[in-house]
Structure 1
């Protein structure tokens, strides 16, 4: 075997190795792009159609819409639809639903939805002004707070609901006694709304 032949073989071997490495690199990059696109589309799908603001991971829970407990008609064509008021084992009561803009114009959510507490208002737009009244026990329940005094409710959303759009929400309260099966939900801009606890 001549030196010239060995040199030729080496050159072809290096070229083949480089071509294989380049093909592998391009395939890997293409795979990453596809993965990113899938992740982005997944994030988009977590936001309900017609809603505004950030995905569900930022406090926007997507409620089970298979059953409607009650619909309250609010000001300027805004409906508050309640889907559930559920107790959990930790002694909490979670109310979930959505605000629906039934008009052909956009709706700016009022500051009154946040309540009047400065610490709560500092956490951004929320529905912290929501309260539950237990007429049987003669008690009013406010939205719970975490250790940093942030409300345990949907927060940080854009203060605008486009025409025909909706804003899903949840609010967590101390659970009333098990003997209480109905409470009145009170929220600025809406009438007193009795809801059944499940």
Structure 2
């Protein structure tokens, strides 16, 4: 699996949305998506709710936002990713302070990556 991050942008509502894509570059279906949901115990199902952002200078970790029913504001429905399949990725977080220009992005099973924030 390859995760490509295309954008991490603040919006006027005080949120930070990270967007990109997941791609199965193998010749077989990918079925090990459960770790991505983190400690998810509610109705989001198999998702990327386990993703976090860390503002090292601000010493703060940000978790994916939830709707009023407790579902993550992130990509869901990831039980099986077929060989060659590309799936849009998104996760929405509370926006760090405007002085924070980059954060560490962490999704279980992937290496941590530093991403620059726009907006």
Alignment TM class, shorter chain as reference: over 0.9
Q: Could you tell me which residue of structure 2 aligns to residue 146 of structure 1?
A: 67
- For residues 159 and 166 of structure 1, the distance between their equivalents in structure 2, rounded to whole angstroms, comes to 14
Counterpart in 1 of 2:3?
A: 80
Shift in Å, 1:163: 1.3
Q: For the Cα contact (< 8 Å) 1:109–1:161, is it kept in 2?
A: no
Deviation per residue, 1:46-100 (Å, 9 max, x gap): xxxxxxxxxxxxxxxxxxxxxxxxxxxxxxxx11100110100010000011111
Higher strand proportion (structure 1 or 2): 2
CA pair 183-158 structure 1, distance change in 2 beyond 3 A: closer
What residue ranges of structure 1 are gaps of 5+ in the alignment?
1-77
SS in 1 for 2:115: strand
Alignment size in residue pairs: 118
Residue of structure 2 equivalent to 1:94: 17
- The C-alpha deviation readout for 1:112-162, integer Å capped at 9, x for no partner, is 11121312xx3322110000000010100000011111111112x241111
Residue 108 of structure 1: SS of its match in structure 2?
Answer: coil
Determine helix, strand or coil for the equivalent of 2:35.
Answer: helix
Q: CA RMSD in A?
A: 1.1
Q: Return 145-154 or 105-114, whichever deviates more.
A: 105-114
TM-fit CA distance, 1:103: 1.4
Question: Residues 109, 82 of structure 1: CA spacing in aligned structure 2 closer, same or farther, 3 A cutoff?
Answer: same
2:28 corresponds to which residue? 105
What is residue 133 of structure 1 aligned with on the other side? 54
TM-score normalised by L of structure 1: 0.57
Give every structure 1 segment of 4 or more consecutive aligned residues whose post-TM-superposition deviation is greater than 2 Å: none
- Which one scores higher on RCO, CA 8 angstroms, separation ≥ 6? 2
Instruction: Check 1:103–1:117 CA distance in 2 against 1; reply closer, same or farther (3 A cut).
Output: closer
The structure carrying a bigger helix percent of its residues is: 1
| Structure 2 unaligned residues grouped into runs of 5+ | none
